[in-house]
Structure 1
Amino acid sequence: MAQATLTIVGSYFGGPIGGAIGSAIGAMIDNQLFPAKAQGPRLSDLSVSSSAYGEAIPRFWGSRNRAAGKLIWTTGLIETETESRQGGKGGPATDVTEYQYSMSGAWLIGEGEIAGIDRIMMNGKTVYDANATPPVTDWGLWSDIQIYLGDFTQMPDPTIEAYEGAGNVPAYRGSAYIVITDLQLQDFGNSPPNFEVFVRARDNDTVSRVVLDLCEGAGIDPNTISTSSLSALPLDGLAIGTDVTGIGVFEQLGLVYNFDTAEEDGTLRFVSRLAAPLGYISYEDLAGHEGNEDRPEAIRWSRRPETKLPREASLVYPDIDRDNQAGTQSTRRATGSSQNNLKSEVAIAMDADRARPVADRMMWEAVNSSQTGECATDDRFLHVSVGRKYFFETPAGVESLRVVRKTRGADGIIRLSLQRIIDGVYIPSSDPVPSTVPDNEVALPGETTLALLDAPLLLDSQDDTGFYWVVAGQEQGWRGCFVERSSDLGNTYQVMGSTGRSAAIGELETAMPSASAATWDRGSTLRVRLVDASDSLESKTELEVLNGANAAWIGDWDGKDGEIIQFADVTQISDDLWELSTFLRGRKGTEHAIGTSAIGHAFVPLNVGTLQRDDFGAGDWYKERLYRGVSLLTDADDADVVAFSNGGESKAPLSPVLATGTRDGSGDVFIEWVRRSRLQQAGLGNGPLPLGEESELYDLEIYDGPTLVRTEQVTLPEFDYTAGMQTADGLTPGDPVSIVIYQISGVRGRGRPGTFTV
């Protein structure tokens, strides 16, 4: 049989290992849909560091390999004891003993000389990166690191000799290894970490180099090997970390790089499957038989049933775009009733561009090679090489068929097993699916921008004596924050609240000009630079704005006397710069602040999802407290401190409006005005405007120029200013009267003033 025949060929080439490789050739050429595979290297072989006797020593080719080191020497855990005294200051003192652990160790990387170590990772964290600018070396974790590249001149390591004694330590020549002195273990659970390295064995390695190295290791004479078709095939990386056969490695390389292995005239040849056919065999030469037998059919074809074919083919490989973590490329047939899946795992590092055509080829080669043929000929075709393509003359015409088995019986008849080949299978026909590329870095938590607002009441349900606060995370890694408050000048802080919701807080790049609060402001623009460039603003229709959308507070960062605006149109200028236009101004009774904003002032969106509120009672009003937004996973002492005092603005009545004065013939002036409420009107036709206070009460001030001449307190929005009162106040009846009106809150006192001349 073919397997036996090829084993004899392999034994001819060199001893028992050579025989194993020869048998592999038969296994590769005789590859069917789901054959038994020789064990090859796997991705998981080198993922976890270990230190057991008898384990295989890894070997590497190419410049993109990731492997776990094997701990070959260690001092064991070294315990360091430290004592400190805590307490005192009038109370009992306590002596506290703490223990810290370290170790020195040597990790074996692999067999043979390598070009370098690009990175070292411990428990998934990069602690050494030779390619960074400048190189990253975490000297805080160790006192010294030595990397031995595995040449045959390296000397014993001095750290190991210091423990074991000079002359008692091997130099491990021909093996790459790393020695770390005084590795601190606190960050690794006080135990040796999982130790991984990115190995650069050789730059510009080729598949030909791997094949020659493996054959040399098997004792095969390099003069009897032909790898010319493989010399131009670049190899990013190949790591072998377990006891495997040459068979398993050749199968993986042949799968990825699309070649077969065959023996021709005493030479072991590695031949591309795209190589041209070697010869021509006519129809008349395909019916070999003994003289007393009937002439057989030239080629007897057979086909495997549909249920034996694969539905999906997947290739699992070390993805060089994902730090050599496992990547998968799959292809699937849209037709057919088969539910079989074909999966191959290789230890050959590559990217998605190389892996996807391999998955396609796995699928369609299995489907197209399901039709096989058998034919017989004579010794004239003894030269036919297994694994090579030939032109065969068939009833369907001349076809390119691969010879997958050749036997010669005692009757002198050569029997060939053929496989129908479609060369298009070996040409990529679909685009790869890129893998998600992790950066293996934990994003920094980022700082928190905290805005505290002494602002008007926004929702009736929040009608208390408190204030609003909003936060913005400044970096991609921001995960939320605690907001802390101090009422003793920063000696102690208490947590006031926490949130994981970041608002699009920004800073004004331009100031808002004055405008009317009574109509749309279509002439002004406002530029805002957001704290976090990943945040965004969006336009809304004018109807949506009238219904409450796109509200924001603008004003000084002290949170006082800001204007509430709404905006409809938004234009992005750059990543973090936005221009707003089409405004409603002075919302929620803040018309007094129109035109007071300045460059550098705060822009704080008033969204229900991000707006927070806390209440410490009216007794806390007008007292400056310290606040800080502490990002999760950061030190509270590093947070910015903000001074803020709550003035109870949300309890302040809004200023009265639309004051008028009606004079009669005697010179009396009847003054009346319209009150406004801090609370929401239920809607037109749904009753009077809510009072929002315990009782209706107003202070009315009358001025003669800058001089206050009269103060009256009334319970209705009206006052009869008689001619006699005017004369007593030094005014001339009939002249204009300057007045200031305040609505009174039982909690807050006077609200915002309304100033009029009647």
Structure 2
Amino acid sequence: MATLVLTVVGSAIGGPIGGAIGAALGQRIDNALFAPKSREGARLKELDVQISSYGSQLPAHFGTMRVAGTVIWATDLVERRAKSGGGKGRPSTVNFTYSVSMAVALSSRPIVRVGRIWADGNLLRGAAGDLKVETQLRIYTGHEDQAPDPLMASAEGPENCPAHRGIAYALFEDLQLADFGNRIPSLTFELFERDSDVPVAEIFHVATGGAVTGESAQTMRGFALAGSTARAPLALLEESFSMECRVRGGVLCISDAPILPVPADPIISVHSENNVAFEKPRQTIEPASRLPHIMTLRYYDRERDFQTSLQRSARGRFSAIERSIELPAVLDAAVAKQLVENRLLDMQSRRHIWRGDIIENGAQFCCGDHFVDETGGIWQIIEIERRFGSTQITARASVKHSDQIESTASPGRLVSSPDVSVGETRIVVVELPAAGLTDPGKPGIAVFAAGTSAGWRRAALSLGNAGAQTDIGSTAQPATIGTTIDPLPPHVPHLIDEGSSLRVQMLNISMDIANRSGSPLDEDAPIVWLSGEFIRYGNCEDLGHGIYRFSRLLRGCFGLDDSIVPHPASAPFVLISPESARLIDERTFGTGDDVQVEALGLGDVSPAKASARIKAHAITPIAPVHGALRWTADGGLLARWVRRSRIDNGWKDGVDQVMAEEREHYRVMLFVDDSPIGEWIVDTPQFSLGSSQSLEMALAEAGHIRAEIRQLGRFAQSAPLVLFLP
């Protein structure tokens, strides 16, 4: 735009020559205004997605870094099928899981160890070395005694499998991909080439094969050395860390830039040589508009889990140029801030250039040396041209660097992936009552599992069968499991227990139960399982530290009156939730069968075991209630009761409960002094014995008379309703 405008203006004023001058001036303005931001040094690539391209470069890492690595070997995805459910007309479910084995090269230098590993940004391996996902991990540090990996050797053949000596790599065997959408995740590794900081001078020495020597007090946390040659990254290091290079005895030496004042030799200017006059020493200043007024430094921040961070420095408003440096180094925020401040100060101060001819007087100046001119200014030599008796030098102004770290630099806030241990697995086998409006037709068995730490996610399950264990897949979502702190006395089943309360210590403090204040008769009242008894609670209070108090209890739910027993302290507790229940459909169990289940999680040394003896709650009718036994006016006997159903369709006034059995049948037994005297089958909720039958059985003269009524079902009969004759 400026080129076009100034060309027209110049042509109007000065003709063609003026137009050319205007065009040149406009082009310079356009370049200054619209030029893209310049970039220095190598790109920050250590956190890119790992690649597997042939010929891709593997950087040499120093210190502590977070790297993505390069896949150097991998298998195809391995598919596994697991069938669950089925039988008795129920459809079976086939679950597919996938895994992969692969090797990821991390560094072209030997390392000490690997710390944390991230997969898609979430921790796959914690700082303590605990794996969060099911896999086997082997780390090869890249030393000269490194042996081939046995899995790679078996897959490729020993003669085709190198040991990859000199290359540090990680091998995953059977990495389960269910947590990553059945795809290979993007991995990054916390790499330790050493446990201390890295001297900057060491990187120069190693990268050049010893061609560059020197000493430096400056260090960094880590550095990635990559590129077709060592020149670009080393030049970036030299400028970023304000270092100086000198040639001594034909060897390039580096050192830290001194903090002024520095020892500097005075010079003597020469004005002629062999009757040839020289110009006087002169100073030039590069226009400030050509220099950046904003400098940014991008680096890896150790305090932010090695994520890319940025520090910025601004000085004045004399140009529109911004410059960015991408330094593949791990730094603290304060150090990075100091580097970018010094770098911008260097660029703006060293635009002062000194040129002149001097007499060395045996001083033998070299590039990098400092001298004091006739006005007292301190300069650093950047070019030398020697003649017979004089020397022409070009120097730039020496810059005073600060040795104080900027205290206001901040790395920013880190939202890190939580590193919590997996813990050990705990499981509880619970026999469930019938749920919903359908007859299950078989006992319902569920496994509830959780871990002793918040990092637990799942465990592999196996079911005991004839002395052997059969794999049945994995657990459901983590359950809410605990143990009681207080004993719980028994209570009548059909009244709310207002006097007792129950304190429970959860398995780990991350388990959360919502506070509640209400009635156990509410439709949404939660259900807990306590050592075989199902209880609804109305109130729940969080006492802190993973302890909860439950009160307003409705005991013996689902008609399981005989489960109301005294519960001691340390009794197992489970909050019943469909999401955390792993139903066992692989086998059909009958009354009296023992269910043996084992679970093995990532943090388990040995399997967690649990068992239960089947009582067939889901298919056993519930005992009748509200019974009465009395004499009739004519001397007969009459018993009445109310039927209950094992299938609950809710509380509906004027509507009877659903008939869960094929038909309504009851077995009535009469006892006199504990001796049975008769048994009858009736199909209505009442039983009558006429006066003639009563007289024939001599019931009027009998002792204690009682009746037991059992509801008959398709698979079993209920517990008895016991009635006594007044």
Does structure 2 retain, via aligned residues, the 8 Å contact 1:40–1:245?
Answer: no
Cα offset for 1:457?
A: 1.1
CA distance in structure 1 between the partners assigned to 2:536 and 2:144 by the alignment = 63
Cα offset for 1:580?
A: 3.7
Is the counterpart of residue 464 in structure 1 residue 441 in structure 2? yes
- Counterpart mapping for 1:140-151 below 5 A: none
Cα offset for 1:709?
A: 3.8
* Residue aligning to 1:754: 721
* Residue aligning to 2:665: 697
Q: Match for 2:640 among 653, 668, 672?
A: 672
- Counterpart mapping for 1:530-569 below 5 A: 535-542=511-518, 546-555=522-531, 562-566=533-537, 568-569=539-540
* Residue aligning to 1:429: 409
- For structure 2, the residue ranges without an aligned partner over 5 or more in a row are 1-34, 70-106, 119-127, 130-136, 170-190, 264-283, 360-364
* Residue aligning to 2:500: 524
* Residue aligning to 1:481: 460
* Residue aligning to 1:609: 579
Q: Match for 1:179 among 131, 138, 145?
A: 145
Cα offset for 1:316?
A: 3.6
Q: Summarize the Cα distance change of 1:552–1:309 in structure 2 as closer, same or farther, 3 Å threshold.
A: same
Is the counterpart of residue 490 in structure 1 residue 487 in structure 2? no
Cα offset for 1:444?
A: 7.8
Cα offset for 1:572?
A: 5.5
* Residue aligning to 1:282: none
Q: Summarize the Cα distance change of 1:369–1:464 in structure 2 as closer, same or farther, 3 Å threshold.
A: farther
Partner amino acid, structure 1, of 2:447:
V
Identity among equivalent pairs (%): 15
- Counterpart mapping for 1:576-587 below 5 A: 579-587=549-557
Q: Summarize the Cα distance change of 1:485–1:449 in structure 2 as closer, same or farther, 3 Å threshold.
A: same
Does structure 2 retain, via aligned residues, the 8 Å contact 1:66–1:196?
Answer: no
CA distance in structure 2 between the partners assigned to 1:67 and 1:679 by the alignment = 58
Is the counterpart of residue 196 in structure 1 residue 168 in structure 2? yes
Cα offset for 1:466?
A: 3.0
Is the counterpart of residue 514 in structure 1 residue 490 in structure 2? yes
Cα offset for 1:574?
A: 4.6
Partner amino acid, structure 1, of 2:490:
S
Is the counterpart of residue 344 in structure 1 residue 290 in structure 2? no
Q: Summarize the Cα distance change of 1:497–1:657 in structure 2 as closer, same or farther, 3 Å threshold.
A: farther
* Residue aligning to 2:679: 711
* Residue aligning to 1:271: 257
* Residue aligning to 2:623: 655
TM-score (norm 1): 0.55
Is the counterpart of residue 589 in structure 1 residue 559 in structure 2? yes
Deviation string 1:225-257 (CA, Å, 9 cap, x unpaired) is: xx7xx63x45545575777557743632653xx
Partner amino acid, structure 2, of 1:622:
T
Does structure 2 retain, via aligned residues, the 8 Å contact 1:474–1:532?
Answer: yes
Does structure 2 retain, via aligned residues, the 8 Å contact 1:564–1:590?
Answer: no
State the SS of the aligned residue for 1:516. Answer: coil
Partner amino acid, structure 2, of 1:344:
E
Cα offset for 1:589?
A: 0.6
Deviation string 1:92-132 (CA, Å, 9 cap, x unpaired) is: xxxxxxxxxxxxxxx9957xxxxxx74489x99xxxxxx99
Cα offset for 1:67?
A: 11
Does structure 1 retain, via aligned residues, the 8 Å contact 2:437–2:649?
Answer: no
Does structure 1 retain, via aligned residues, the 8 Å contact 2:503–2:548?
Answer: yes
- Counterpart mapping for 1:298-313 below 5 A: 302-303=288-289
Cα offset for 1:514?
A: 0.9
Q: Match for 1:259 among 209, 231, 242?
A: 242
CA distance in structure 2 between the partners assigned to 1:710 and 1:610 by the alignment = 48
Partner amino acid, structure 1, of 2:443:
G
Q: Summarize the Cα distance change of 1:679–1:532 in structure 2 as closer, same or farther, 3 Å threshold.
A: same
Cα offset for 1:639?
A: 5.0
Partner amino acid, structure 1, of 2:310:
S
Does structure 1 retain, via aligned residues, the 8 Å contact 2:428–2:447?
Answer: yes
- Counterpart mapping for 1:29-44 below 5 A: 37=40
Cα offset for 1:677?
A: 1.6
Cα offset for 1:302?
A: 4.3
Does structure 2 retain, via aligned residues, the 8 Å contact 1:480–1:501?
Answer: no
* Residue aligning to 1:157: none
CA distance in structure 2 between the partners assigned to 1:634 and 1:521 by the alignment = 40
CA distance in structure 1 between the partners assigned to 2:653 and 2:323 by the alignment = 71
Does structure 1 retain, via aligned residues, the 8 Å contact 2:425–2:601?
Answer: no
Does structure 2 retain, via aligned residues, the 8 Å contact 1:451–1:471?
Answer: yes
CA distance in structure 2 between the partners assigned to 1:566 and 1:580 by the alignment = 7
* Residue aligning to 1:329: 309
Q: Summarize the Cα distance change of 1:729–1:638 in structure 2 as closer, same or farther, 3 Å threshold.
A: farther
Does structure 2 retain, via aligned residues, the 8 Å contact 1:554–1:565?
Answer: no
Q: Summarize the Cα distance change of 1:202–1:242 in structure 2 as closer, same or farther, 3 Å threshold.
A: farther
Cα offset for 1:379?
A: 8.2
State the SS of the aligned residue for 1:518. Answer: coil
Partner amino acid, structure 2, of 1:345:
L
Does structure 2 retain, via aligned residues, the 8 Å contact 1:57–1:241?
Answer: yes
Cα offset for 1:178?
A: 2.9
Q: Summarize the Cα distance change of 1:404–1:711 in structure 2 as closer, same or farther, 3 Å threshold.
A: farther
TM-score (norm 2): 0.57
Cα offset for 1:460?
A: 2.0
Cα offset for 1:595?
A: 2.0
Does structure 1 retain, via aligned residues, the 8 Å contact 2:537–2:553?
Answer: yes
Does structure 1 retain, via aligned residues, the 8 Å contact 2:664–2:684?
Answer: yes
CA distance in structure 1 between the partners assigned to 2:660 and 2:414 by the alignment = 61
CA distance in structure 1 between the partners assigned to 2:43 and 2:615 by the alignment = 75
Counting matched residue pairs gives 568
- Counterpart mapping for 1:27-176 below 5 A: 37=40, 118-119=112-113
Q: Summarize the Cα distance change of 1:686–1:239 in structure 2 as closer, same or farther, 3 Å threshold.
A: same
Partner amino acid, structure 2, of 1:628:
V
Does structure 1 retain, via aligned residues, the 8 Å contact 2:422–2:451?
Answer: no
Partner amino acid, structure 2, of 1:653:
P
CA distance in structure 1 between the partners assigned to 2:519 and 2:381 by the alignment = 79
Cα offset for 1:587?
A: 0.9
Q: Summarize the Cα distance change of 1:209–1:754 in structure 2 as closer, same or farther, 3 Å threshold.
A: same
Deviation string 1:112-154 (CA, Å, 9 cap, x unpaired) is: xxxxx74489x99xxxxxx99xxxxxxx999xx9x9xxxxxxx
Partner amino acid, structure 1, of 2:438:
S
Q: Summarize the Cα distance change of 1:362–1:674 in structure 2 as closer, same or farther, 3 Å threshold.
A: farther
- For structure 1, the residue ranges without an aligned partner over 5 or more in a row are 1-31, 70-106, 111-116, 125-130, 133-139, 148-175, 280-297, 391-400, 557-561
* Residue aligning to 2:480: 504
Deviation string 1:146-204 (CA, Å, 9 cap, x unpaired) is: x9xxxxxxxxxxxxxxxxxxxxxxxxxxxx95324686455884533554287777967
State the SS of the aligned residue for 1:650. Answer: helix
Does structure 2 retain, via aligned residues, the 8 Å contact 1:118–1:199?
Answer: yes
Cα offset for 1:641?
A: 6.7
Cα offset for 1:678?
A: 1.6
Does structure 2 retain, via aligned residues, the 8 Å contact 1:33–1:309?
Answer: no
Does structure 1 retain, via aligned residues, the 8 Å contact 2:148–2:162?
Answer: no
Cα offset for 1:621?
A: 2.3
Cα offset for 1:37?
A: 4.3
Cα offset for 1:676?
A: 1.6
CA distance in structure 1 between the partners assigned to 2:291 and 2:146 by the alignment = 59
Q: Summarize the Cα distance change of 1:249–1:219 in structure 2 as closer, same or farther, 3 Å threshold.
A: closer
CA distance in structure 2 between the partners assigned to 1:437 and 1:43 by the alignment = 19
Partner amino acid, structure 2, of 1:259:
S
* Residue aligning to 1:396: none
Does structure 1 retain, via aligned residues, the 8 Å contact 2:297–2:311?
Answer: yes
* Residue aligning to 1:628: 597
Cα offset for 1:744?
A: 1.9
CA distance in structure 2 between the partners assigned to 1:650 and 1:404 by the alignment = 92
* Residue aligning to 2:429: 451
